[in-house]
Structure 1
């Protein structure tokens, strides 16, 4: 009997792309929170749970508590849902707990982010063009012996940089500066082949006003942090500074990004353990977590993802790339899908590296960025 009930509940969670043709009704969740009874396809927070490869007992209970009809769930902040009329209705609540917060407009629109101006595509882990991947940020630490650029980050709007928690754990904000629009960390401004006629504007060096580490960061899990800059950047970005796009659409939030061509960027060490003075990048391919667990011989959380070299050449992220972007290009636009977290020693193996899965933390990011 119990198995039949659970099977019924699972059927409710079949992913449907049908638009609702009925009037959208109010509902209450199992915790008596107000919501709208919609298709689970229109509720990103619950959809991510339903599509997880492994669903925990607590998540199963959560899904049951939100069932409100045939293939419908009680969603506290659904996506825009088209009704039978010509109008489109959107619902949001100030007390959001598991749904998208309302400050999504603080992130740039797709035509204002993720654009690559490089004149050519560089393959195989080499130096980027000086204006390529303009969202990559160098984290510069102040220490007489161990200072310098040790981690990377990604600019996501005019105020915030996203990085790995382990890069800023126990770091004081006054001991950290952000280098935006950086390419060659040994000169400023950046010029190609010492040609003073072909230089970027000066690197923008910015102080940090707040370091916000994920509250559940522990032992390489939830390895994500937000850095708020003391001063906001101008609304109009420059030729060498631009944010990367976040995967905010329903389609991207549902994407596991498995077996996809991606790239990583940073100033990490090369195979000879020498730190690069230039911004480098390497192309990788993502693999599913099960295959990654087998390769690394350790369990992974579903908030993590893996990528590895797809050639016989050893190309992967290295120490200085921690916190940097794992990015995917879709129709000419780059999206941030991962944050470099940890992996095997640089240049020593073809084993995959582990990344923080950005789509698992969109709610946390949106809940914590401010104007």
Structure 2
């Protein structure tokens, strides 16, 4: 059997006085505190659940605030009095675990202009002015800019920012045969399996929570945890990418029904890492497939560091390629009795030229559902590589959901 390759929130401290923010719905005030942020524990805030101010340095023109779950706020300068002229401030707000961030601004009053050319609040490069407050929205990152020019003022705004408790799965930022170079954060769930101390991956995997990577059983059979390390955030092989992390493996959990990829199927293996994963813009988990879904005829994406052709070397840059998913009956027409219920097929373009290849085994096959990416397949086997009208075979993740849940119960799984 060959190894198929695939692959801040902030309270803006502006002004000498800190007026009270708007009342909560129950009538009680949301009180800012002139103290360090409260300590957080698993399950949410400890103590006061009201927004905590995280003041910006007065001389700092741009900064990033990476914050734990909670409610925060920022205001226009001198709020609720008239804001000042000639004011500029920019900052970014992120969750410390890739969580959803929700923002709403009320009240809102700035100098009006048809294109907000004078005074404005900009949220993720979209400007708001006049009485047209930004709509309540949920995003993965807030890029805020406050700008006022030399004349005309108004009472400004109060914006409440809520960072959700829990991380977000299936969110990405911005050579598999016939594939293209990935960009940093495009596939933040991509893992590379390497020999201990090495940088060249020989199989792929997917981050599915804060402690486990899902890969193929044929990648880990006859191996001990001490022989394998996992690279996350690795975009270019052999170079130190920003945010790249290396993990040792504490435990290998093979699917109990696995005997071989082309025999029994069930080509799944879980790697328990030696420590929790710190999520970032370039490292975060993928959402798992939804039970009961076949994903037939959807367009999926495979990614990995495998060969760029059957007789070609492995890629030095993470690759990705779009592949059509086949129905089970159609794929059975190609693979016959080899195809089991624990398998799913993708690829097989009539012209060939695009597929996974050796070195991509264990890597992810994902599809986008309602703006999030779900892991539907684990690269298993095929006819190397990119053979016309012959799809490659992946482990069908929907068939392994109960096994995954049982064996990763000690991890924190991200929400949709």
Counterpart in 1 of 2:303? 265
Counterpart in 1 of 2:236? 184
SS in 2 for 1:148: coil
SS in 2 for 1:290: helix
Shift of 1:296: 2.7
Counterpart in 1 of 2:355? 316
Q: Distance in 2 between matches of 1:336 and 1:109?
A: 23
Counterpart in 2 of 1:255? 293
Task: Report the RMSD for the aligned CA atoms in angstroms.
Answer: 2.3
Q: Distance in 2 between matches of 1:109 and 1:281?
A: 31
Counterpart in 2 of 1:239? 281
Using the size of structure 1 for normalisation, the TM-score is 0.61
2:269 counterpart of 1:217: no
Shift of 1:333: 0.6
Q: Residue by residue, what CA displacement relative to the aligned partner does 1:300-323 show, whole Å, maximum 9, x if unpaired?
A: 111111111446241111111100
Q: Distance in 2 between matches of 1:156 and 1:124?
A: 27
1:162 to 181, 203, 214: 214
2:182 to 110, 114, 128: 128
Q: Distance in 2 between matches of 1:274 and 1:109?
A: 44
Question: Using a 3 Å threshold, how does the CA distance of structure 1 residues 109 and 261 change in structure 2: closer, same or farther?
Answer: farther
Question: How do 1:62-101 and structure 2 match up within 5 A?
Answer: none
Aligned residues: 241
1:270–1:347 Cα contact (<8 Å) kept:
no
Counterpart in 1 of 2:397? 358
After superposing on structure 2, the runs of 4+ consecutive aligned residues of structure 1 that deviate more than 4 Å are 108-111
Q: Residue by residue, what CA displacement relative to the aligned partner does 1:54-98 show, whole Å, maximum 9, x if unpaired?
A: xxxxxxxxxxxxxxxxxxxxxxxxxxxxxxxxxxxxxxxxxxxxx
Question: How do 1:1-371 and structure 2 match up within 5 A?
Answer: 112-118=168-174, 125-142=179-196, 148-189=200-241, 200-201=242-243, 203-220=244-261, 221-234=265-278, 237-247=279-289, 252-271=290-309, 272-310=311-349, 312-369=351-408, 370-371=410-411
Using the size of structure 2 for normalisation, the TM-score is 0.55
SS in 1 for 2:330: helix
Larger RCO: 1 or 2 (CA < 8 Å, sep 6+): 2
SS in 1 for 2:338: coil
1:154–1:324 Cα contact (<8 Å) kept:
yes
Q: Distance in 2 between matches of 1:110 and 1:158?
A: 11
SS in 2 for 1:360: helix
Unaligned runs of 5+ in 2: 1-163, 412-416
Shift of 1:255: 1.2
SS in 2 for 1:283: strand
More helix by share: 1
Q: Distance in 2 between matches of 1:171 and 1:111?
A: 32
Shift of 1:109: 9.2
- Choose 1 or 2 for highest CA Rg: 2
Question: Using a 3 Å threshold, how does the CA distance of structure 1 residues 109 and 328 change in structure 2: closer, same or farther?
Answer: farther
Shift of 1:359: 0.8
Shift of 1:130: 2.1
